[in-house]
Structure 1
Amino acid sequence: MSERAGAGTAVLVPLALAQFICSFAGSAMNVMINDISTDLDTSVHGVQLVITAFLLVMAALMIPGGKLTDLLGRKRCFVAGLALYGAGALLSALAPGIVVLFLGNSILEGIGTALLIPPVYILTTLLFTDLASRAKAFGAIMAMGGVGAAAGPLIGGLITSGIGWRATFGFQVLIIIVIIVLGRKITDPLPAETGRSFDVGGTVLSAVGLVTLVLGILAADNNIWLTLALLAAGSLVLAGFFARVRVREHAGKAVLVSTSMFKNKVVNLGLVTQNLQWLMLLGSSFVVATYLQVVRHYNAIETGVIFTPATIGLLGSSLLAERLAKRREQRSLIMAGFVLTVAGMGLLLAFAGLFTSPWPFAPGLFFIGLGLGLMLTPSVNVVQSGFGDEQQGEISGVSRCVSNLGSSLGTAIAGTILVSGLTSHSYAAAMIVLAVAGVGGLGAAAFLPRERAVAAGPA
């Protein structure tokens, strides 16, 4: 394995665990919907809002988080993010009501994740420099991230049924402590650029624009005119953000994200595939988990166990990332992943209404996990390898923003369709929307180049 000094298993373990716990947090709450809504006297829609807001805060602040890694240092941002995340998890565990849960889970954990995740990908790219070693490192990280998202319902269900939903947040606190201890061995390969300025105005505009767009989707089941107004307002704010970026670039001033990040066609296609992958993963997790609990009346552990095939499929294909990267084009892996995932959704649609037993969900969930695990790593490698060391802070922030925006959109769009009716018909409609997104991802992947990688990365 070709690595920079200090890289290796000791460095990779805490980075992979960090991705695991953040992905776990995004899906584990899906099996606690009934328990939380009953305990805190709220509705399914209220819990959906907390879940979506957590994913949205991550997406909205991921680019600023990536920028801060350059200004403050990757190791410093990583530790600060872990501490903030742990504080949010502890507050969530003690929450007396939905407002405090929103503050702890959606706000503090969301901000903490936005600070700690960009360093994970920047450090991996800087420390593992050739295609094979980077594929193996990203494979481990994406495997842990995918398993965290896929196994979140199972682990969360076990803890919720055995102890209570609050203990799930206690579990997150324990993992954060472990990561902080293991992370002491991580060294930052590049110095912090403390003299650079930070684009506060751009941060505000980008965050407001993204939040407004997703809020518009969440409002769809209540007021169509409010939805249209919010979507239009969010689009205008984002347009203003990009106009501001161009003006500041021409004036030689600091910007939140350079327009050069979006001039690489191959990287743009990679970002589209990332967005749609996480949209399908978190969207299908929320839809299936909510349907099983609210419509089929399964408890947390029963719902979690049903997700086991997805975890097995995702873990198996993710662990093969290094071997597959040597033998197959990244384009082929991404396309095959979308085909398998869409096929899995088709199986979920075909079998869900025909049987009263939950086990017919297993084949579809297995194919979804297998497909997503197959394409998560090559998509990340396409994007991260498209830029040199000096731009890793920016592209990591953009990459994670796009992925987490996909997660929040998946929960918002598919979740809103499902919650509007909470019937077998709304379940089918939500799954069809997710499958259509998968077909769109397949189309984007078809335009990727046939070479195995965009670039091997700086040596």
Structure 2
Amino acid sequence: MRAVAVCLSFFLVMLDSTIVTVALPSIGGGTATLQWVVDAYTVVFAALVLAGGSLADRFGARRAYRAGVMIFTLGSIMCAGSGTASAWLIAGRVVQGVGAAVLMPSSLALIRSTYPEPATQARIIGLWGGLGGVAAAAGPLLGGALLSVAGWPALFLLNVPFAVLVLVVSGGLVDPPVVPGARVDVRGVVTSTCGLALLVAGCIAHRADLVAGGALVLGLFVALQRGALQRRALQSRRPASMLRPDLLRHRALRATVITGFALNFGFYGQFFLVTLYLQQQRHLSPLLTGVALAVQAAGAVVGSPFGGWATHRSGPRTTMLIGLLTGAAGFVALALCASGPLPAVLAALFVIGFGIDTAMTAATSLTLQVAPDGHAGVASGLLNTMRQVGSALGVAVLGAIGGFATAVLIAAGTYLAAAVLVALRTAAPGTTAPGTAAPGTAAPALPATPAPPAPPAVPRARRIGGSS
């Protein structure tokens, strides 16, 4: 029951994302409006998930987990009450993004604390991803079925009973140790949110000035973070920075978070396009579109436990390479058969889903292995930050490209580039590079944050006379 409790959050988030995508043609509005219905959620998720990890480390992962579920539920109710593709709907998606940013890293921190043994942990991560795959498979089917009998607001209300179930069964989870010095970098949150929003807006509107502005603001965010880390190094008694410098220096972790970016860039970009392609070019009904997308989600259902098994047997490096190369092959096949028979399209979608969840399970496992004690929330938050940045930019960039096949081939190229990075920046078979582990073994964890030095003892005054 504890395993189900800690994995239900990913199920809830994935169920919502796939249902919403299937409903986009029914919601109505232009392509730019629909892109914002998706990206209003992912931009906020990406910008706040690292802060959500800090909150989990500071106040307790279980408390953050439950709070995130409640915020996500509130956003779902707001979306259901909007009635149209309006600003209120987008505002509800923003609230959903806030809730998901809190609950996602806390769920991974709870996996690490509840299941500390590496082999068991890898299996639970496989279950975590598998339930997400089940949700991805059920989302299109449920969405298509509900759209056949009710309006699209009912799709958001479906989140409410699942959220109640999460709150009921999450009481037995084991909280990891809290980090009293962990804090939320408000300045970094503001700059990263504004920068990412400008970048996405520029891609959607095809405006180079907004893209440049977003890149500049994100550059400012990186500079502010580097400055904060340098000040932390010089002043060891200050509260810990939201992002530890040694997390950024770890080669395996850098390769992992970039892999997470590439995986979501390709998946969510093509998922947005495939939904419109099936209904607008193939003229499938919402229910049949849901069936087609469920085939891709079924590949993810198979890929997640396979990724957990392969990570335990061969190590995360080999498993990530298998997943990335398989996903790239699926994208190429989808581009080649876009105008061909529908069964060929479905086969390509299955291969893509299998590859994505195989690689993501390994990437998530490696992130938890290298995270220092008390900082699993921030490490998983860093991974999920890059994943959600990839989701937002994938929808914005691939959605702005005119040709379906061209956009899908760009996604394939992204996966191949990530595979090259994993191959070069992690240990080769039989060797161990700095900051990585040999295949089949757990990657060395980063050292725990050292406690600040105690102030020097004040010499006791020599007693001259009188009484104390």
**Do these two structures clear the TM 0.5 threshold for a shared fold by scoring above it?**
yes
- 1:19-38 equivalences in 2 (<5 Å): 19-37=10-28
Change (3 A) 1:430 1:100: same
Q: 2:5 aligns with which of 14, 36, 43?
A: 14
CA distance in 1, matches of 2:216, 2:398: 20
Matched with 1:381 is 365
Q: Which has the larger radius of gyration?
A: 2
Question: Which 4+ runs in 1 deviate beyond 6 A?
Answer: none
Please state how far the C-alpha of 1:454 moved relative to its aligned partner.
4.3
Q: 2:121 aligns with which of 134, 156, 168?
A: 134
Change (3 A) 1:297 1:249: farther
- Deviations along 1:94-139, one digit per CA (max 9) or x if unpaired, are 113311111112x111000111111100011122222211110110
Please state how far the C-alpha of 1:60 moved relative to its aligned partner.
0.3
- 1:206-221 equivalences in 2 (<5 Å): 206-220=192-206
CA distance in 2, matches of 1:196, 1:65: 11
CA distance in 2, matches of 1:292, 1:197: 45
TM-score (norm 1): 0.88
CA distance in 1, matches of 2:442, 2:196: 29
- Percentage of identical aligned residues: 26
Letter in 1 for 2:122: A
Does the 8 Å CA contact 1:32/1:160 hold for their aligned counterparts? Answer: yes
1:250 maps onto 2:227 in alignment: no
Matched with 1:3 is none
Does the 8 Å CA contact 1:262/1:268 hold for their aligned counterparts? Answer: yes
- 1:257-296 equivalences in 2 (<5 Å): 257-296=243-282
CA distance in 2, matches of 1:131, 1:120: 17
Letter in 1 for 2:253: V
Does the 8 Å CA contact 1:211/1:234 hold for their aligned counterparts? Answer: no
Letter in 2 for 1:99: A
Please state how far the C-alpha of 1:387 moved relative to its aligned partner.
2.0
1:104 maps onto 2:88 in alignment: no
Letter in 1 for 2:48: L
Change (3 A) 1:454 1:213: farther
- Deviations along 1:247-277, one digit per CA (max 9) or x if unpaired, are 3443343322122211111111111112211
CA distance in 2, matches of 1:257, 1:147: 32
Letter in 2 for 1:242: R
SS at match of 2:116: coil
Does the 8 Å CA contact 2:114/2:175 hold for their aligned counterparts? Answer: no
Does the 8 Å CA contact 1:21/1:175 hold for their aligned counterparts? Answer: yes
Letter in 2 for 1:400: N
Letter in 2 for 1:23: M
CA distance in 2, matches of 1:147, 1:273: 22
1:402 maps onto 2:386 in alignment: yes
CA distance in 2, matches of 1:273, 1:124: 21
CA distance in 2, matches of 1:248, 1:185: 36
Letter in 2 for 1:429: T
CA distance in 1, matches of 2:4, 2:445: 22
CA distance in 1, matches of 2:225, 2:204: 23
CA distance in 1, matches of 2:383, 2:39: 19
Letter in 1 for 2:332: G
CA distance in 2, matches of 1:15, 1:436: 34
Moved more, 94-103 or 290-299: 290-299
1:446 maps onto 2:423 in alignment: yes
Letter in 2 for 1:34: P
Does the 8 Å CA contact 2:16/2:139 hold for their aligned counterparts? Answer: yes
- RMSD of the TM alignment (CA)? 2.2
Letter in 1 for 2:150: I
CA distance in 1, matches of 2:199, 2:34: 19
Matched with 2:220 is 236
Structure 2 gap segments, 5+ residues each: 430-437, 447-468
Please state how far the C-alpha of 1:194 moved relative to its aligned partner.
5.0
Matched with 2:458 is none
Matched with 1:83 is 70
CA distance in 1, matches of 2:14, 2:233: 34
- Deviations along 1:344-378, one digit per CA (max 9) or x if unpaired, are 111111111234xx333111001101111222111
- Deviations along 1:205-229, one digit per CA (max 9) or x if unpaired, are 3333333333332232xx3343333
Please state how far the C-alpha of 1:294 moved relative to its aligned partner.
2.7
Structure 1 gap segments, 5+ residues each: 1-9
Letter in 1 for 2:20: M
Change (3 A) 1:18 1:34: same
CA distance in 2, matches of 1:304, 1:380: 28
Matched with 1:177 is 164
CA distance in 1, matches of 2:150, 2:196: 36
1:329 maps onto 2:315 in alignment: yes
Does the 8 Å CA contact 1:210/1:238 hold for their aligned counterparts? Answer: no
SS at match of 1:390: coil
Matched with 1:203 is 189
Does the 8 Å CA contact 1:216/1:231 hold for their aligned counterparts? Answer: no
Change (3 A) 1:406 1:453: farther
SS at match of 1:436: helix
CA distance in 2, matches of 1:456, 1:238: 26
